[in-house]
């Protein structure tokens, strides 16, 4: 069975309304199949291989979640400097 780290990243990515402030699923026992990693192995990959892929996807989502505001902040600073130069 896939062991979820319960970080909430995938639920935030999918804007799930059932994610609690503690990063827990408020409907865990009744959650849809798309939220069940084992049910989503539609290509019937070997479990070890499939879990590695899922774990990689989780890690990429976490990186994206961290990078989005960081990059946005950097762009805001860059564009602010450009606006100042343009207004001269």
- Domain range list for the chain: 9-87
CA distance 17 to 20: 8
Considering the entire predicted model, what is its pTM? 0.68
Task: Give tens-digit pLDDT for 61-80.
Answer: 999 888 888 877 777 776 77
- In terms of phi and psi (left: phi > 0; alpha: psi -120 to 50; beta: otherwise), the region of 3 is beta
CA distance 33 to 36: 5
Task: Give tens-digit pLDDT for 27-45.
Answer: 999 999 989 998 899 899 9
């Amino acid at each position: 069975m896939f062991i979820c780290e319960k970080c909430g990243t995938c639920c935030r990515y999918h804007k799930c309304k059932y994610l609690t402030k503690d990063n827990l699923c408020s409907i865990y026992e009744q959650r849809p199949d798309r939220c069940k990693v084992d049910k989503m192995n539609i290509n019937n990959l070997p479990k070890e291989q499939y879990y590695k892929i899922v774990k990689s996807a989780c890690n990429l989502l976490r990186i994206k979640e961290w990078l989005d505001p960081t990059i946005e902040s950097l762009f805001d600073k860059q564009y602010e400097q450009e606006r100042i130069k343009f207004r001269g």
